Amino acid sequence: MQDIQTIKKQAEEFRRARKYAEALPLYKQLWEEHRENCNEWEGWAYAFCLKQQKEYKKSLDICREVYKLKPDFENIKSVYAWCIYYTEIAVEKVNDESKFLKAGEAILKLSKQDDPYSPYTQTVFKILEYLNNKAIYPTDKVLEWTEKLNFEILDDKPFSFTDNEGKIRELASKKEQYFMWRTKALLEKGLYDECIELSQKALDTLENFHYNNEIWFARRISLSYKGLGQPEKALEQLKSLLKRKNEWFIYKEIAEIYFEQGNHEQALKFAIDSALSPGDVDKKLNVYKLLSEILISNNQNEEAKKHIELIYQIRKANKWKIDNDLQNLINKFQIDTTKKVNSRDFERELKQLWEKLKYSNQTELTGTIKCILPNGKAGFIETENKKSYYFQLRNFKAKPELAKQGQKVTFFLEEGFDKKKNQKTENAVNVKPKR
């Protein structure tokens, strides 16, 4: 008996000194050869040393034995939870989703979120990352797993690191990620009141935003108002967003609301703005579909036909399925699907059409470039009656070297917003050298 006590004492001394490799063979001897003289503490110490040596699977087996021996023993719960995390959750690829989620549930049963040394929060975040990367968005699962978190005690400090090029990068805090994931799921599920409340909470609570999340939270509030049958509130929110960020999808959502209200003129205006705004064409299929619907409603069938053909060409180029709705439109407008189309020429042709439609109800103005600002990205145009209009060089539709002081130009006006003065403005757009 004395020999066993000596082994126990030596093993404990090694463990306390963090000499886990030296302690392991002693604990193994005790656990395998002298089990009758061991209790949950020796079992925990053995499992703990195995975990510290990254022998997670072996540690997991010991944890199971000790947990069965004494389920309410708190020390073993922590080691048990971490071993499940390292063997089942922190994996490069999830091969069995059911097993993966079951492991997550086991960890949450063994640990608590308010314990900073437990894998509770990491586990939920790993599962949410997995769920959010699935091809088919699992709304209910995302809601289920975000409900397991108390966002009030999540860390709100962004994570900073230095990349391979020596640049300091910053990632969203856990609290911001929680808001991001849950508000998206609430919107997808149609839980609009909750989405509005939580999105507003995010905007009011967070000091730093990443990945344009302040825009996404505000957008989700807008779309929730739309879902609640309050289109005017939705429009107000979306137009307010445009003052901060000119994104093509915001224009699209405004156009959709106007179209649903039967306001085809405004719907067309914002849908064209969406089409003309920067963005990948293959991500704008819903914009082109909306434009075709508006144009059909306006009896502009030839223009609508071009958009249906564009949708077909994009789907064909990406080898995407041609659904029944698109096939019916192809048949209705007798679109020749065997015709070879130069996609760039076709897109250029449509861009000219969008600009023509956009400015069809406006008067073309003339003026002279008064100056180009020092940053080389903008300037001012002066008309004959001495009115000055701001314009950005990206809206100059000719060779950049022609955009110089004294150049006579034609242009149209578009409503803008001066962030510094916090007021609406009229800016010159579609600026071209006067022929």
Query: What b/e readout covers 301-313, taking b as 16+ CB neighbours within 10 angstroms?
Result: eebbbbbbbbbbb
Alpha carbon distance 333, 40 (integer Å): 77
Q: What is the DSSP string of 253-315?
A: HHHHHHHHTT-HHHHHHHHHHHHHSSS-GGG-HHHHHHHHHHHHHTT-HHHHHHHHHHHHHHH
Q: Which domains does the chain have, with CATH numbers?
A: 2-133 (1.25.40.10), 248-360 (1.25.40), 365-433 (2.40.50.140)
Q: Tell me the residue type at 367.
A: G
What is the structure's pLDDT at 72? 93
Please identify which residue in the block is written with the tokens 């069938």. 301
Closest CA to 431 of 387, 395, 380: 395
Write down the pTM of the prediction.
0.82
What the block records as the tokens of 226 is: 């739309």
CB distance 183 to 195 below 8 Å: yes
**Per-residue model confidence (pLDDT) at position 416:** 77
Q: Which helix (H) or strand (E) holds 116?
A: none
Reading the block at residue 409, the tokens are 């130009």
- The pLDDT value recorded for residue 212 is 87
- Cβ partners under 8 Å of residue 292, min gap 6: 304, 307, 308, 311, 329
Integer Cα distance of 308 and 326 in angstroms: 8
The angle subtended at Cα 167 by Cα 164 and Cα 172, nearest 5°, is: 100
What digits encode the pLDDT tens for the residues 200-236?
999 999 988 888 899 999 999 999 999 999 999 999 9
What pLDDT digit, counting tens, does each position of 141-178 carry? 999 999 999 999 999 898 887 777 778 888 899 999 99
Euclidean distance between CA atoms 50 and 11, whole angstroms: 13
SS3 content of the chain, % helix, strand, coil (to 5): 60, 10, 30
Q: Could you give the CA distance from residue 410 to residue 55 in angstroms, rounded to a whole number?
A: 74
Kind plus residue range of the DSSP H or E element containing 234: helix 231-242
Give the model's pLDDT for residue 2: 55
Let me know the angle formed at the C-alpha of 407 by 402 and 408, rounded to the nearest 5 degrees: 125
Report how far residue 290's alpha carbon sits from residue 75's, in angstroms, rounded to the nearest whole number. Answer: 60
Complete DSSP assignment for 117-139? TSSHHHHHHHHHHHHHTSSS--H
At residue 372, the pLDDT reads 93
List the structure tokens of 423: 């007021």
Distances in Å between the Cα of 142 and the Cα atoms of 81, 131, 425 are 22, 7, 42
- Name, in order, each residue with C-beta under 8 angstroms of 61's C-beta and a sequence gap of 6 or more: none
> Could you read off the pLDDT tens digit of each residue along the chain, which spans 435 residues?
558 999 999 999 999 999 999 999 999 999 999 999 999 999 999 999 999 999 999 999 999 999 999 999 999 999 999 999 999 999 999 999 999 999 999 999 999 999 999 999 999 999 999 999 999 999 999 999 999 999 999 998 988 877 777 788 888 999 999 999 999 999 999 999 999 999 999 999 998 888 889 999 999 999 999 999 999 999 999 998 888 888 999 999 999 999 999 999 999 999 999 999 999 999 999 999 999 999 999 999 999 999 999 999 999 989 999 999 999 999 999 999 988 888 788 888 999 999 889 888 888 899 999 999 998 889 999 998 889 999 999 889 888 889 999 999 999 988 877 767 777 788 999 899 987
